[in-house]
Structure 1
Amino acid sequence: MTKLFKAGLLAASVLATPALAQEYVSPYAYPQPEEGGEFNAVIEIPAGSFTKYEINAETGHVFVDRYQVMPVVYPANYGSIPSSLGGDGDPLDAIVYTREPIVPGALIRVRAIGTLNMIDGGEEDDKIIAVPVSDVDPQYDAIQELSDMPAAEIDRLEAFFRVYKQLPEGRKVVELTGYEDAATSVAMVDEAIEAYRTQDSAANDNAEAGAEGESAAQ
């Protein structure tokens, strides 16, 4: 029996012990910092991949959802902003530039430098563009706006999202409608995180009220 396997058995036994078990936290519900300006992103698809991975919110397992039919790869890491609530009711999407691809399921602390505005199948589907914070990788300290990025990177980003859904036929039509600056993007992230906290707080209040009502009825 290997040490790794023994460690796995030990971890399983700990999780199976009610007194020691911890409540599962979905990657999409991972908490965000209170101060704003920086946020956590969870990566689903690494830069350079043509495999579309998706994280199961209920279990945290990473699944291979499908492979890209178009002969293009993701130009940067792609994922979501946990504990955020966009206008479509889902977490905000995030495009994260790093010097090395990030494995699916990993979280990284980043900051926004802009937003790619998109219409996907007639619905808004904006992408927050981000880079690592200084503590993670100071190489990006000079990148404060999209205009600080090499022009070729922005060209590749646009080219990918313009064509990545062209095959197979019948998929949604994607339109690129411009960019937002860093300040606007930071505000968008802060608002989405606050919207999530407000919804979460209301849900907790309703749950507590329901529990009190059941207790009183008994």
Structure 2
Amino acid sequence: MKNYDIIIETPKEGHFKYKFEPSAGMFKLNKILPQGLVFPYDFGFVPYTVGEDGDPLDVLVFSEHALFTGCVVECRIIGGIQASEMDENKISIRNDRLIGIPVLSKVYAHINSIDQIEEEKINEIKNFFISYNSYYDKTFITEGVLSAADVEKLIKQSNNSYHHFKNKPTLSRL
């Protein structure tokens, strides 16, 4: 199992959703969650990847303490939740939620596979993203669980997509 650096956008228990803006090199406040809704885990991304939604691959980081926006944390990716989002135009876009464990974690050190995460915890994550997306008029559809091997392939594929996308000329690069 390979380790990856994950960049944290939104700390766990946070009421604010931040998003990294590559052109500015900064994190920008993207959303304010409704009262009573907080991120259950640190939320970040795998740098140098691009998913179907045009953003880097999303990662939930299981850590004993909240990290901070911009923190880089080395994680082993143990699997993920395969999912898609449907926008207001009824267009479905794959948008998985990978799960990472910090290599420095003591509490989660024993977890090496998504199979070791309780089903109730996986369902809580699914329900969080269903509620979160519903609030913003999107539909979040869970389609199953991804193994660490599935995620490894997905990261490699999205890394190749990133490099292909990065090398295409755009108006901002001309």
Normalised to the residue count of structure 1, the TM-score between the two structures is 0.67
Aligned residue pairs: how many?
164
Unmatched tracts of structure 1, length 5 or more: 1-35, 207-218
CA RMSD, 1 decimal: 2.3
Say whether 1:124 aligns with 2:94: yes
Does the 8 Å CA contact 1:39/1:111 hold for their aligned counterparts?
Answer: yes
Question: Which of the residues 115, 129, 133 maps onto 1:161?
Answer: 129
Aligned to 2:27: 62
Unmatched tracts of structure 2, length 5 or more: 87-91, 170-174
1:174-205 Cα deviation digits (max 9, x unpaired): 111111111211221233224434555xx39x
Aligned to 2:89: none
Task: Give distance in 2, aligned partners of 1:60 and 1:76.
Answer: 24
Say whether 1:101 aligns with 2:69: no
Aligned to 2:116: 148
Instruction: Note closer, same or farther for the CA distance 1:182–1:163 as it changes in structure 2 (3 Å cut).
Output: same
Does the 8 Å CA contact 1:70/1:164 hold for their aligned counterparts?
Answer: no
Question: Which of the residues 173, 181, 185 maps onto 2:139?
Answer: 173
Give the residue type in structure 2 aligned to 1:132.
P
Give the residue type in structure 2 aligned to 1:196.
Y
Aligned to 1:85: 50
Task: Give distance in 1, aligned partners of 2:32 and 2:165.
Answer: 34
TM superposition shift of 1:156: 2.0
Give the residue type in structure 2 aligned to 1:50.
H
1:144-201 Cα deviation digits (max 9, x unpaired): 1112124443232122012112225xx111111111111211221233224434555x
Does the 8 Å CA contact 1:118/1:127 hold for their aligned counterparts?
Answer: yes
Bigger Rg, structure 1 or 2: 1
Aligned to 1:182: 148
Q: Which has the higher contact order (CA 8 A, sep 6+)?
A: 2
Q: Percent identity?
A: 23
Normalised to the residue count of structure 2, the TM-score between the two structures is 0.82
Question: Which of the residues 152, 155, 158 maps onto 1:192?
Answer: 158
Once the two structures are overlaid, the 10-residue window that deviates more, 174-183 or 65-74, is 65-74
